[in-house]
């Protein structure tokens, strides 16, 4: 056999190996989702979504959990969006090449790698104790905002970087200042990318459990929160709590709650993909 034939065969072999590797992840995910749906789908009904938690599995619902999750998402969003985008703008447009921004950059990458439970400890000390927020929605939101801040900063920077230099130069040449150029040209043009990062960050925050348990979010909350200073629970904590119980009925409840959580995160990711595609179509450099 000549050399190119051997190379052909190697090429094919690697191709199949790649397909195999890709399928492993997908098959496991499909199996997991299938299993969850099999266990939980019959449990989901209107009562399940609107009932308060209960000691009896068949009466228990996830009202406080998903309402708490929404409170957390809204406040995390409000905190992380201005902070993350402003930090991204600073690092990408203003702080370039200074010693300070190099230091910041390294540490932002480090932050992205810190285990989430450590953020919980940080939140417990700073927000719950020092700033006196207690184990409230606000403290939870700040903690999660810190956790996902690096995602927003990094994706904002990438989106800003993707705006061609020619657009900036054109704006400068017309006599606009740096801030005018960023505000009127660069930010609108990078909006799609920034939004994608924000939504991915938020959908990560929706699924977080550990840091919220550490700051003292409760598993059993008999009321829906009415202000950001109220105590709260969220879907993942409710799931965690149910799974750790011995009765089979609670496992079914957990499966049903997982389905709801999956639907929420998949929907948010779907929205992110939709906006990214829409923006890419609109702005085609």
Partner 1 sequence: MKNKLEAKNVSVFYDDFQALNNINMSFEENAVTALIGPSGCGKSTYLRLFNRMNDYIESFRLEGEILIDKKNIYNKNIIVEDLRKNIGMVFQKPNPFPKSIFENVAYGLRIQGIKNKAILRIKVRKALQQAALWDEVKNDLDKSALTLSGGQQQRLCIARTLAVEPSIVLMDEPTSALDPIATAKVEKLIYELKKEYTIIIVTHNMQQAKRISDYTAFFYMGDLIEYNKTEHIFTNPTHDRTQNYITGRFG
Residues that bind partner 1 (CB under 8 A): 164, 166-167, 169-177, 180, 184-185, 188-189, 282-284
> Smallest distance, Å, CB 188 to partner 1?
8
Q: How far is the CB of 94 from partner 1 (least distance, A)?
A: 14
CB of 54 or CB of 98, closer to partner 1: 98
Residue for token digits 């000691």? 55
Least Cβ distance, residue 180 to partner 1 (angstroms): 5
Number of helices and strands in the chain (H, E): 12, 0
Cα separation values, 103 from 33, 95, 118, 209, Å: 42, 11, 21, 30
CA dist., res. 70 & res. 72, Å (int): 5
Nearer to partner 1, 190 or 253 (CB): 190
Closest distance between partner 1 and the C-beta of residue 275, in Å?
A: 16
CB 191 within 8 A of CB 272: no
Question: Judged by CB, which is closer to partner 1: 8, or 278?
Answer: 278
CB neighbour class for 265 (10 Å; exposed up to 12, middle 13-18, buried from 19): middle
Residue nearer to partner 1 on the CB measure, 129 or 282: 282
CB-based contact 188:142 (threshold 8 Å): no
């Amino acid at each position: 056999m000549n050399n190119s034939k051997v190379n052909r065969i190697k090429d094919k072999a690697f191709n199949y190996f790649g397909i195999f590797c890709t399928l492993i992840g997908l098959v496991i995910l499909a199996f997991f989702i299938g299993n969850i749906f099999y266990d939980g789908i019959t449990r989901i009904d209107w009562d399940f979504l609107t009932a308060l938690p209960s000691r009896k599995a068949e009466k228990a619902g996830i009202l406080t959990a998903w309402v708490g999750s929404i409170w957390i998402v809204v406040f995390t969003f409000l905190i992380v969006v201005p902070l993350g985008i402003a930090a991204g703008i600073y690092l990408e447009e203003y702080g370039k090449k200074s010693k300070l921004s190099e230091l910041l950059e390294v540490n932002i990458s480090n932050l992205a790698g810190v285990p989430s439970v450590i953020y919980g400890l940080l939140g417990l000390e700073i927000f719950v104790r020092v700033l006196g927020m207690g184990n409230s929605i606000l403290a939870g939101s700040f903690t999660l905002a810190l956790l996902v801040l690096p995602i927003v900063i990094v994706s904002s920077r990438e989106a800003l970087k993707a705006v061609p230099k020619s657009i900036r130069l054109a704006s400068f040449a017309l006599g606009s200042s740096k801030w005018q150029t960023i505000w009127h040209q660069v930010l609108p043009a990078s909006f799609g990318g920034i939004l994608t990062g924000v939504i991915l960050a938020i959908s990560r925050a929706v699924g977080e459990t550990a840091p919220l348990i550490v700051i003292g979010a409760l598993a059993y909350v008999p009321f829906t929160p009415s202000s950001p200073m109220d105590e709260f629970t969220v879907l993942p904590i409710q799931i965690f709590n149910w799974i750790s119980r011995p009765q089979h009925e609670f496992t079914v409840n957990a499966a049903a709650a997982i389905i709801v959580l999956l639907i929420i995160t998949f929907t948010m990711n779907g929205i992110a993909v939709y906006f990214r595609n829409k923006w890419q179509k609109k702005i085609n450099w």
